[in-house]
Amino acid sequence: MKILVIQNSSQDPVGILGEHLVKAGAELLTWLPEQQPAPPPEDYAGLIILGGHMNAHEDERYPHLKRVVALIHEFHAEHKPIMGVCLGAQLVARAFGSHVYPHSQPELGFSPLRVVQPAATEPWLQACPADLHIMQWHFDTFKLPEPATWLMTNDICPHQAYRIGTNIYGFQFHLEVTPAIIADWLAAKSDWIDAHYPRLDRQIQAQITAHAEGAAAFAEQVAHTWLALCSVPCSSPAIAPV
């Protein structure tokens, strides 16, 4: 089955999440707006929106964001599964009427996560280890969309994962990253980050050693659960986005 992947930045590919999706039978077609005016015209079974350095409301600087929001509306109206990662989760929140805004502090590096909704049926949620740490790299956050079920949180940024309906997921954290992707981010980080987080490189390298294996196993569970939704027609009515 064909999945549209919107890669908002050349430095944030689909990574290990994509590897697991392909192994499970998905065909990924990537739209990189920095290089292509429009996504490849295909009949897609699902939509994934990845991270990026822009704010979710910066339409004047990044005109493709309006098209991404429109695609979220289109896929939702057709009952097709959607996954938003970091900026992608913020764009899904925007599509459902929520505001995205600067957080009180950046979240950089692997952070602990905990389950908010233990009664949810997602296998990856039920099997979530108590010491799960996932890579974070964001300066913004968002209000939880009104129709969303809040799934995961932490002490730094409350809205870490949510579900809308039965097949739309937003993840504030970066479950797609590999050590190579993280190395690219560290090499390209801003002077502001260098000044305010002078030990960040060393800290994240230690975190990769401690947490990368568990994070990868979590990404595999999410990939298989989400891809299964792409092959099951949704009979429930769509929740209208704002």
DSSP 173: S
- Which tokens go with 170? 């937003």
Q: Please name each of the domains of the chain with its CATH number.
A: 2-230 (3.40.50.880)
pLDDT on residue 235: 46
Say if residues 211 and 110 touch (Cβ distance below 8 Å): yes
**Residue 174: HSE in the Cβ half-sphere, 13 Å Cα cutoff:** 25
Judge contact between 165 and 176, C-beta under 8 A. no
What tokens does 210 get?
């401690």
Instruction: Name the token pair of 61.
Output: 């600087």
Q: How many Cα neighbours within 13 Å face the side chain of 103?
A: 20
User: pLDDT means per 10 residues in the chain (242 residues)?
Assistant: 97 97 97 93 97 95 96 97 98 96 96 88 88 97 95 96 96 98 96 96 98 96 96 55 52
Residue count (the chain): 242
Question: What are the helix (H) ranges across the chain?
Answer: 15-23, 64-77, 87-95, 123-126, 179-187, 191-196, 200-230
List Cβ<8 Å contacts ≥24 apart for 206-211: 207/109, 207/110, 207/133, 207/135, 208/110, 208/179, 208/182, 210/110, 210/133, 211/110, 211/133, 211/134
Label residues 68-97 b or e (16+ Cβ within 10 Å = b).
Answer: bbebbbebbeebbbbbbbbbbbbbbbbbbe
CB of 118 closer than 8 Å to CB of 81: no
